[in-house]
């Protein structure tokens, strides 16, 4: 290493030193990241003149002390100016970057920017000044006359470090480290969640306040937790995990480069930033985290000069640990403080003796306010102290403060009045009040309440069932299906709706798992049921909604039939329905819901003004999902109208009609769907610039099933200013919804308050309530909690646990698996999942169920399922015989419902694993890489219009290759992506395709023919021919090597 002293005194390009220190990601040379202040007390008084003389001598000796950083006018890397003497100014980025000045009480205060000196460098500087003051000016002059070499200069060290970092070995080591920490997305989300805890800044609370400080007492040097840095870094990570909910976090950690022996005496900014990643799994203890952090830090120090990650400088979360000596150069240390204004949040821990002082700094810190900052520091201190005192404590059981009060439910008089009623009672009461009112509408068909109840009673008389018996309903026609559901209830049994389009193997499994006693089916669906072993098959005819109603309700029944009908479910604790949810073990779970559960929920809907005699609510949810409970029974219990879409009509069409007030949607008062479908509906109908908005009406908009975004809230209120927007939350096990709340424009989205006689509790792993802002698992109690999983006693006991907060004997809580926290408004906010469960387009999906099916394929040796961009993706490791085709896998997965079949299959050599040996989902490759072959015969698009359609599909579906006979849904399409296709066709060819017709044209060839059928002015043909000409020209240029021109033409 060259030790010569540079004598540059002019403005010169910033050497490698600045490149190493700040990195290419930080171009703002005037930005002050960290300022460190060291206050010392000399053994004898020091005058200002004496200190100034010592400063000048030391400054002349070290170039870094007379270097200023000047930003480039062009915005590139900064330049340095090395002056022959001390610079004016102070450590604020302008001029000189450090100061030394006398302070009150005979003290000396040294302050330096991290751009010139880190904390250790500041101690070295203090030692140099102390020696100069002790030796006096004469000694300095004598040394200058000897001609001896000066000290090693920082610029030379930086050039050497730059060379080290440019070495291929270092590049490989940094790439490996960056791959290991996986980026900072979780850290950014954590910072955002911490920031959201702070109250909105107003004139009354925006003044400057003293930054909170917390102190932690340390154990003796022989204590198992004597590695203070590891303990405090682990405590910071655990506290961030508890406040942010992230299951893994990467933070930037300061690491001194003076670990390299040759660099120990060098003055300069020799602190690097390296990334430490920590994973948090249930049951992990504080000792586990401390040990893993200690191991990671030890490994980093071995190669810190090779692996300092320049991108870590700007990471959202940071940690810095300093140990302050008692004396420096014969001077006693009074205090040391380091404060940063860099990105995000950083915990700075300064140790003096047996005490550590904790502070939060960084650009985000001032925005938090003293209260939130204090709570976070308290949490860090609590975790650190418990980690040293009780290291075996699981990280999810550390008590972090005063528990938050659980959200309270408003009074629900209707639900209370209905407490002992059954669902059948309520429908019968509505029919008695207004028998001729329209109960059901489906396209041109209508059923009055009289006709609905009469038809259901006639069918119920054929069902010889007892309370809690399960009657399966496998009926394609929506009107007949609803009659069959009500018939099952009137017969005193519970209904189970099964999708007739499910594979026969799955239907058979559901019938067996539900212990079905009777099955209501049409002749068509009955032919797919096999022998019907164990249950009675009852054929039903389609309800056409025409003809006489048969007089008064039940008049057509003879006396015996009436007696049989009256022997059914007459208690609110009898079973009302069963529905299956995805199961993590590969087997669906049958949720058993009672009449009391349903009636409590419907009573809340009534008290919230969401259902009533005038309600017209489209049933857009498939009847196998719990959203159908509110959409079907909500209107019917109070005399409203349920609108059933005709078989084959997509929910998107129904929503579009409701939004514009056209067609069947003209009378709609309420819509209920998932946020993603609502978002696409709004986008599809949003008026183009310069055009009039379509007809808008006041609506109740109920959104649930997946996270609601602030952007969707804003657009809903902008496009429908009279709408009342609700965010609904709740798994099937809590009867459709457990919480709900209205969301106005600008509101922070929460899960709302409990519905009806429901309770919400946010608990840690010890089932103890957590403080506000701390993430815990949401438990739901009260009248909405279902009976459990039918026939699954062990699973029921695992998920439905005793309620310690209820005074009711036998009360239970349902463990949702959802991670939430109580926000500033006292309401729960969703923070993620405690397990791998997914929500895909509002459907609850257990990846394990998909993986179990994939692993049964003989050519698959390992498989992982996950969601990417709202689509299911399967990554698999092929067996020795080679990978299966997509067509083969789709056929194999046909035992799953359609929404659970992966849209994309990706082949891997091996499944990536975490350090703990579990699947590392963040390291799964992009689904665009490694697609399996589709299989089957491929036919290229044959006509110009087919080529246009294929190109649109490639864009909308992200498919590599699209053939004339490929199926839109087999390539991952759905109703939402069909809406994208409609919009793309409209944009490109000024042609409007009805969504229903597009959904009925599943292949490229079909959609091309559909486009031509709607090409009334020739615009489709004109565009297709122009596109084909460009495409052929692009192919020709690609063949000749002119790829840039080809790409430009295609664009």
Query: Is the model more confident about 22 or about 852?
Result: 852
Q: In 3-state terms, what secondary structure has residue 226?
A: coil
pLDDT, residue 238, reads 95
Asked if residue 600 has pLDDT above 50, the reply is yes
Mean pLDDT (the chain, rounded): 81
Most confident of 568-582, 654-668, 691-705: 568-582
pLDDT tens figures, 812-829: 999 999 999 998 888 999
pLDDT, residue 811, reads 95
Asked if residue 839 has pLDDT above 50, the reply is yes
pLDDT, residue 849, reads 83
Asked if residue 223 has pLDDT above 70, the reply is no
Neighbours of 714 (CB within 10 A): 13
Lowest mean pLDDT among 674-688, 718-732, 867-881: 674-688
Using alpha carbons, list the distances in angstroms from residue 212 to 323, 361, 526, 633, 909. Answer: 20, 10, 71, 54, 51
- Give 233's pLDDT tier (boundaries 50, 70, 90): very high
> Rounded mean pLDDT of 840-869?
83
Lowest mean pLDDT among 669-683, 868-882, 1019-1033: 1019-1033
pLDDT, residue 502, reads 87
- Give 939's pLDDT tier (boundaries 50, 70, 90): confident
- Give 314's pLDDT tier (boundaries 50, 70, 90): low
Lowest mean pLDDT among 153-167, 259-273, 426-440, 581-595: 153-167
As a whole number of angstroms, the distance between CA 922 and CA 592 comes to 36
Asked if residue 137 has pLDDT above 90, the reply is no
Lowest mean pLDDT among 51-60, 540-549, 773-782, 858-867: 540-549
Query: Is the model more confident about 531 or about 476?
Result: 476
What residues are paired with 36 via a beta bridge?
Answer: 112, 338
Query: Is the model more confident about 157 or about 627?
Result: 627
Query: Is the model more confident about 271 or about 630?
Result: 630
> Rounded mean pLDDT of 191-200?
82
Query: Is the model more confident about 898 or about 242?
Result: 242
Asked if residue 1038 has pLDDT above 60, the reply is no
pLDDT, residue 1048, reads 39
Domains of the chain by range and CATH? 11-161 (3.30.559.10), 181-198+210-397 (3.30.559.30), 448-570 (3.40.50.980), 846-923 (3.30.300.30), 944-1050 (1.10.1200.10)
Asked if residue 981 has pLDDT above 50, the reply is yes
Asked if residue 713 has pLDDT above 90, the reply is yes
pLDDT, residue 559, reads 40
- Give 965's pLDDT tier (boundaries 50, 70, 90): confident
What is the share, in percent, of the chain residues with pLDDT greater than 90?
31
Asked if residue 954 has pLDDT above 90, the reply is no
Lowest mean pLDDT among 183-197, 628-642, 849-863, 864-878: 183-197
pLDDT, residue 23, reads 31
Query: Is the model more confident about 689 or about 605?
Result: 605
- Helix, strand and coil percent figures for the chain, each rounded to 5: 40, 20, 40
Q: What one-character DSSP code corresponds to residue 285? A: B
Tokens of 186: 């979780």
pLDDT, residue 139, reads 62
> Rounded mean pLDDT of 483-489?
96
Buried b or exposed e, range 329-362, using 16+ CB within 10 angstroms: bebebeebbbbbebbbbbbbbbbbeeebbbbbbb
Phi, psi of 164 (to 5 degrees): -60, -45
Tokens of 879: 């067996």
pLDDT, residue 561, reads 39
Asked if residue 556 has pLDDT above 50, the reply is no
Q: How far is CA 788 from the centre of its chain?
A: 28
- Give 146's pLDDT tier (boundaries 50, 70, 90): low
> Rounded mean pLDDT of 931-957?
79
- Give 438's pLDDT tier (boundaries 50, 70, 90): very high
- Give 1033's pLDDT tier (boundaries 50, 70, 90): low
Query: Is the model more confident about 76 or about 558?
Result: 76
Tokens of 899: 């929404």
pLDDT, residue 959, reads 74
Tokens of 500: 């007739």
pLDDT, residue 807, reads 86
Contact between 313 and 281 (Cβ < 8 Å): no
Q: Concatenate the DSSP letters of all residues of 874-900 into one string.
A: EEEEE-TT-PPPHHHHHHHGGGS-GGG
Most confident of 720-734, 884-898, 919-933: 720-734
> Rounded mean pLDDT of 820-849?
82
Asked if residue 574 has pLDDT above 90, the reply is yes
Q: In 3-state terms, what secondary structure has residue 1028?
A: helix
Lowest mean pLDDT among 541-545, 848-852, 940-944: 541-545
pLDDT, residue 470, reads 96
> Rounded mean pLDDT of 530-540?
83
pLDDT, residue 1036, reads 53
Asked if residue 845 has pLDDT above 90, the reply is no
Query: Is the model more confident about 306 or about 292?
Result: 292
Q: How far is CA 834 from the centre of its chain?
A: 12
Nearest to 915 by CA among 240, 179, 105, 188: 179
- Give 339's pLDDT tier (boundaries 50, 70, 90): confident
- Give 202's pLDDT tier (boundaries 50, 70, 90): very low
What is the share, in percent, of the chain residues with pLDDT greater than 70?
80
Asked if residue 383 has pLDDT above 90, the reply is yes
Sorted by sequence, the CB contacts under 8 Å of residue 167 that are 6+ apart come out as 306
Q: In 3-state terms, what secondary structure has residue 536?
A: strand
* Torsion angle of the four alpha carbons 133, 137, 138, 143, in this order, in degrees rounded to the nearest 10: 80
Q: Concatenate the DSSP letters of all residues of 697-754 into one string.
A: ---EEEEESSPPPHHHHHHHHHH-TT-EEEEEE--GGGSS-SEEEE--TTPPP---EE
Residue whose token pair is 């196998």: 624
Query: Is the model more confident about 538 or about 558?
Result: 538
Query: Is the model more confident about 530 or about 962?
Result: 962
């Amino acid at each position: 290493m060259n030790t010569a002293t540079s004598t540059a005194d002019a403005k010169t390009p910033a050497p490698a030193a600045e490149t190493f220190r700040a990195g290419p990601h930080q171009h703002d040379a005037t930005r002050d990241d960290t300022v460190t202040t060291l206050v010392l007390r000399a053994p004898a008084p020091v005058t200002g003149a004496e200190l100034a003389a010592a400063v000048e001598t030391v400054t002349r000796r070290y170039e870094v002390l007379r270097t200023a950083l000047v930003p480039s006018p062009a915005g590139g890397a900064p330049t340095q100016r090395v002056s022959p003497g001390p610079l004016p100014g102070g450590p604020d980025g302008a001029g000189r970057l450090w100061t030394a000045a006398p302070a009150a009480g005979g003290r000396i205060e040294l302050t330096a920017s991290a751009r010139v000196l880190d904390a250790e460098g500041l101690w070295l500087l203090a030692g140099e000044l102390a020696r100069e003051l002790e030796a006096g000016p004469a000694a300095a002059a004598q040394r200058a006359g000897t001609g001896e070499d000066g000290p090693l200069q920082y610029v030379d060290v930086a050039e050497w470090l730059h060379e080290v970092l440019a070495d291929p070995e270092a590049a490989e080591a940094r790439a490996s480290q960056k791959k290991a920490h996986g980026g900072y997305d979780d850290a950014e989300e954590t910072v955002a969640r911490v920031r959201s805890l702070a109250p909105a800044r107003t004139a009354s609370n925006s003044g400057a306040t003293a930054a909170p400080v917390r102190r932690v007492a340390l154990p003796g040097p022989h204590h198992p937790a004597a590695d203070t840095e590891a303990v405090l870094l682990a405590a910071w990570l655990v506290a961030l995990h508890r406040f942010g909910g992230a299951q893994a976090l990467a933070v930037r950690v300061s690491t001194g480069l003076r670990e390299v022996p040759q660099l120990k005496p060098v003055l300069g900014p020799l602190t690097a930033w390296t990334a430490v990643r920590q994973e948090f799994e249930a049951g992990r203890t504080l000792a586990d985290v401390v040990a893993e952090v200690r191991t990671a830090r030890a490994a980093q120090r071995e190669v810190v000069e090779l692996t300092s990650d320049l991108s870590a400088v700007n990471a959202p979360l940071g940690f810095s640990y300093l140990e302050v000596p008692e004396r420096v150069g014969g001077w006693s240390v009074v205090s040391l403080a380091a404060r940063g204004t860099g990105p995000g949040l950083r915990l700075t821990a300064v140790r003096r003796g047996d005490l550590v002082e904790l502070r939060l700094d960084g650009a985000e810190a001032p925005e938090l306010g003293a209260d939130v900052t204090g709570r976070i520091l308290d949490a860090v201190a609590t975790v650190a102290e418990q980690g040293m005192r009780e290291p075996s404590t699981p990280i999810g059981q550390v008590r972090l403060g005063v528990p938050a009060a659980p959200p309270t439910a408003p009074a629900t008089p209707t639900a209370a009045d209905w407490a002992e009623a059954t669902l059948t009672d309520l429908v019968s009461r509505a029919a008695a009040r207004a028998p001729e009112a329209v109960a059901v509408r489906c396209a041109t068909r209508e059923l009055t309440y009289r006709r609905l109840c009469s038809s259901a009673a006639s069918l119920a008389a054929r069902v010889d069932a007892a309370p809690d018996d399960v009657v399966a309903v496998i009926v394609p026609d929506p009107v007949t299906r609803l009659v069959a559901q009500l018939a099952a209830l009137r017969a005193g049994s519970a209904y189970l709706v099964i999708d007739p389009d499910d594979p026969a193997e799955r239907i058979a499994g559901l019938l067996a798992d539900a212990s079905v006693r009777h099955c209501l089916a049409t002749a068509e669906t009955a032919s797919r049921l096999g022998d019907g072993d164990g249950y009675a098959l009852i054929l039903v005819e389609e309800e056409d909604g025409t003809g006489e109603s048969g007089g008064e309700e039940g008049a057509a029944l003879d006396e015996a039939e009436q007696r049989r009908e009256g022997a059914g479910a007459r208690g609110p604790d009898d079973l009302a329905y069963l529905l299956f949810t995805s199961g993590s073990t590969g087997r669906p779970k049958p949720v058993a819901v009672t009449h009391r559960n349903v009636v409590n929920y419907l009573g809340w809907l009534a008290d919230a003004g969401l259902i009533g005699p005038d309600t017209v609510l489209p049933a857009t949810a498939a009847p196998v999902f719990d959203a159908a409970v509110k959409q079907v029974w909500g209107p019917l219990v109070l005399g409203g109208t349920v609108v059933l879409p005709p078989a084959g009509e997509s929910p998107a069409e129904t929503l579009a009609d409701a939004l514009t007030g056209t067609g069947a949607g003209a009378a709609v008062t309420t819509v209920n769907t998932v946020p993603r479908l609502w978002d696409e509906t709004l986008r599809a109908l949003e008026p183009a610039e310069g055009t009039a908005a379509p007809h808008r009406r006041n609506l109740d908009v109920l959104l649930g099933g997946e996270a609601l975004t602030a952007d969707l809230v804003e657009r809903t209120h902008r496009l429908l200013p009279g709408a009342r927007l609700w965010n609904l939350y709740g798994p099937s096990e809590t009867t459709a919804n457990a919480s709900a709340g209205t969301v106005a424009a600008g509101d922070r989205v929460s899960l709302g308050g409990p519905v009806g006689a429901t309770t919400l509790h946010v608990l840690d792993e010890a089932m103890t309530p957590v403080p506000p802002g701390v993430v815990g698992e949401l438990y739901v109690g009260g009248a909405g909690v279902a009976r459990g999983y039918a026939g699954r006693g062990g699973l029921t006991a695992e998920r439905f646990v005793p309620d310690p907060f209820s005074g009711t004997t036998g009360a239970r809580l349902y463990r949702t698996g959802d991670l939430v926290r109580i926000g500033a408004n006292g309401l729960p906010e969703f923070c993620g999942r405690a397990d791998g469960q997914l929500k895909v387009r509002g459907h609850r999906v257990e990846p394990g169920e998909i993986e179990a099916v994939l692993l049964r394929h003989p050519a698959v040796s390992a498989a992982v399922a996950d969601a990417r961009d709202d689509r299911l993706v399967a990554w698999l490791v092929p067996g020795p015989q080679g990978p299966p085709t997509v067509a083969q896998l789709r056929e194999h997965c046909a035992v799953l419902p359609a929404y659970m079949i992966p849209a994309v299959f990706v082949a891997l050599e091996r499944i990536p694993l975490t350090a703990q040996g579990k699947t590392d989902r963040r390291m799964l490759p992009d689904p665009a890489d490694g697609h399996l072959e589709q299989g089957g015969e491929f036919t290229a698009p044959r006509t110009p219009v087919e080529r246009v359609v294929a190109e649109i599909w490639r864009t909308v579906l992200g498919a590599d290759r699209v053939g004339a006979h490929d199926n839109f849904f087999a390539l991952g399409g759905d109703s939402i992506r069909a809406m994208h296709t409609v919009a793309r066709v409209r944009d490109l060819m000024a042609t409007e395709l009805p969504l229903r017709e597009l959904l009925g044209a599943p292949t490229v060839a079909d959609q091309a023919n559909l486009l031509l059928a709607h090409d009334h002015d020739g615009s489709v043909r004109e565009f297709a021919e122009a596109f084909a000409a460009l495409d052929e020209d692009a192919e020709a240029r690609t063949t000749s090597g002119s790829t840039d021109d080809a790409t430009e033409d295609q664009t």
